[in-house]
A and B are shown apart, each in its own frame.
Chain A
């Protein structure tokens, strides 16, 4: 059985080799990320059957868990690793033709390292190791946001860096506290020992860690960097940031809150925080005129919805949350990719400049429409099953306050529908000038794969639903996690 650690080691090795490959032949470097991610994707798919029985625990360096670092590859971890490699692959194919000027070699290295960091965060079972991979993810996204080197890119990158550094500082203080209290860094070990310590002392470390990770996962008060970063980064990067980076941040928050701490009476607070993020994200997106900024705010909204679903902590809602997460990665990625080429053709990011794009770039506009419909949750597309599961799970809980929150979720869908349909109308039903020119082949293949995925998920959600329910049970019940790591 292939060792999952290759998921991290191989892309890392390839990243280190890129300068050598580059000195050998200039053309080849563009295809290294595609190869690495293809390898990752195939490896993930091969691992699915093994992981479904029981999670794989890898002890690095041969030392048993509390003393060495271990990788925990459960259904949840594999879901995220698979999602990262899939989205990463599609976006790397897209950026073959999208990224032409500027230090291209460095772009591909940073891109691969960002995805490796994300895979690392998702698979690791050690708290400090999570921090290190989290740092790789953050630093490479700081650099990639500033890739264009224009005024907006540099400004948003410095703001993102300052907030990110404060966040990771807080995270490190939290880890310090945890180590001080429990003397160990292994998540399963801490999870086991959590009951020995009185709950009130655990509150400050948890808040510090959640705040640290929350900065990256765009929870409400901490997500001020996201609109600037996603709107001024190159579109392929904002697709990755929106599609993967914030989801991985949310995974880390969920893992910390559910598995490591597992204090169940704080979940309601996170539900409220999720709804707050959702409403603020949707309201801000409603008032935007810049297309990428609007998509960034809608990412904040969707993250709020996923956080709300995860915070309800029943198997049904968490499955719905994960389904919505997968749908968000795919359709938001598709939206950013199609928006990328539309902006490239129309010159400006204003929605008014996208008028008449339906005629000039029919396939890209179709991709945008499919992505928008799926994100709003219209039936034949992937968004509908996700929303259906979340709402049915939430109503199953039966509490009155949860029903009100569900009402707010549905209300925000209306707002979301409004601003997405406004853009679709601009694409198809407003006349714009400019000649008809299709997006290049690689971009079109990327968009078509995503579209097929969206429709497949929308029409037949069952094959993903079983995998997701095992992933949600992996997240929720602490005992099986601790048992399988410290057996």
Chain B
């Protein structure tokens, strides 16, 4: 039971990543695939935060001088996650605009039908 308890964050994070991948692999609808990708992104962000987490640590902000720094969480993954989230948003926006254009051209979002460029 203790394995599940103290690794719940890793399990959660990689659960999300693998589910996201599974969606991308299995689903045919473009929107679902994009949702799968963003699920995978959130999973990765959760994983990064889990890496930097100290057991019952606090946010690394010295709001008042006397806050001591022993129990502070590692700030670097948080900086990485900040960037990762923004990249996730950027790619998501681009994907959705492409989806709009795709629907205008192909009339469908079913990726199995969007196979003109092959071989």
Chain A residues at the B interface, C-beta cutoff of 8 Å: 128, 132, 135, 139, 142-143, 146, 149-152, 154-159, 161-162, 165-166, 168-169, 172-173, 175-176, 179-180, 185, 227-228, 231-232, 287
Question: Contact between B99 and A169 (Cβ–Cβ < 8 Å)?
Answer: no
Chain A residues in 8 Å Cβ range of B20? 169
Question: Contact between B94 and A151 (Cβ–Cβ < 8 Å)?
Answer: no
User: Considering only CB atoms, which chain A residue lies closest to B84 in the complex?
Assistant: A172
- The A-contacting residues of B in range 42-58, CB under 8 angstroms, are 44, 47-48, 51
Kindly list the 3 A-B residue pairs having the minimum CB-CB distance in the complex, ordered from nearest.
A228-B117, A180-B51, A158-B98
The number of chain B residues touching the other chain, given as a range, is 20 to 34
Q: Is B106 close to A, CB under 8 A?
A: yes
- B47, B117, B119: most-surrounded residue (chain A CB, <10 A): B117
Question: Contact between B83 and A165 (Cβ–Cβ < 8 Å)?
Answer: no
User: Considering only CB atoms, which chain A residue lies closest to B49 in the complex?
Assistant: A176
- In-complex Cβ contact of A169 among B40, B51, B83, B119 (8 A): B40
- A156, A176, A180: most-surrounded residue (chain B CB, <10 A): A176
- In-complex Cβ contact of B95 among A132, A149, A161 (8 A): A161
Question: Contact between B76 and A185 (Cβ–Cβ < 8 Å)?
Answer: yes
Question: Contact between B95 and A156 (Cβ–Cβ < 8 Å)?
Answer: no
Question: Contact between B102 and A154 (Cβ–Cβ < 8 Å)?
Answer: yes
Chain A residues in 8 Å Cβ range of B119? 287
Q: How far is the CB of B34 from chain A (nearest CB, A)?
A: 8
Question: Contact between A158 and B99 (Cβ–Cβ < 8 Å)?
Answer: yes
Chain A residues in 8 Å Cβ range of B84? 172
CB contact under 8 A between A166 and B40, given known A154-B101, A155-B117, A161-B94: yes
Q: Is B35 close to A, CB under 8 A?
A: no
- In-complex Cβ contact of B117 among A139, A179, A231 (8 A): A231
Chain A residues in 8 Å Cβ range of B76? 179, 185
Q: How far is the CB of B87 from chain A (nearest CB, A)?
A: 5
CA distance A228 to B119 in the complex (A): 9
CB contact under 8 A between A172 and B44, given known A151-B106, A165-B91, A166-B21: yes
- In-complex Cβ contact of B44 among A158, A169, A180 (8 A): A169
CA distance A44 to B47 in the complex (A): 39
Q: Per DSSP, are chain A's interface residues mostly helix, strand or loop, or mixed? A: helix
What 0/1 readout, one digit per residue, does chain B (24-67) give for beta carbons within 8 Å of chain A?
Answer: 10000010010001001100100110010000000000000000
Chain B residues in 8 Å Cβ range of A161? 91, 94-95, 98
- B40, B77, B90: most-surrounded residue (chain A CB, <10 A): B40
- In-complex Cβ contact of A176 among B30, B33, B44 (8 A): B44
- In-complex Cβ contact of A155 among B24, B91, B102 (8 A): B102
Chain A residues in 8 Å Cβ range of B102? 154-155, 158
CA distance A227 to B116 in the complex (A): 12
- In-complex Cβ contact of B94 among A139, A159, A179, A287 (8 A): A139
CB contact under 8 A between A179 and B30, given known A139-B94, A149-B101, A165-B37: no
Question: Contact between B117 and A152 (Cβ–Cβ < 8 Å)?
Answer: yes
CA distance A157 to B84 in the complex (A): 21
- In-complex Cβ contact of B37 among A159, A166, A185, A227 (8 A): A166
Chain B residues in 8 Å Cβ range of A179? 48, 51, 76-77, 80
CB-defined A-B contacts under 8 Å, sample of 26: A135-B87, A142-B94, A146-B98, A152-B116, A154-B101, A154-B105, A155-B116, A155-B117, A158-B95, A158-B102, A161-B94, A162-B24, A165-B95, A166-B24, A169-B20, A169-B44, A172-B44, A172-B84, A175-B80, A176-B44, A176-B47, A176-B77, A179-B48, A179-B77, A180-B51, A232-B117
Chain B residues in 8 Å Cβ range of A228? 117
Question: Contact between A173 and B51 (Cβ–Cβ < 8 Å)?
Answer: no
Q: How far is the CB of A284 from chain B (nearest CB, A)?
A: 8
- In-complex Cβ contact of B91 among A139, A173, A175, A231 (8 A): A139
Question: Contact between A151 and B83 (Cβ–Cβ < 8 Å)?
Answer: no
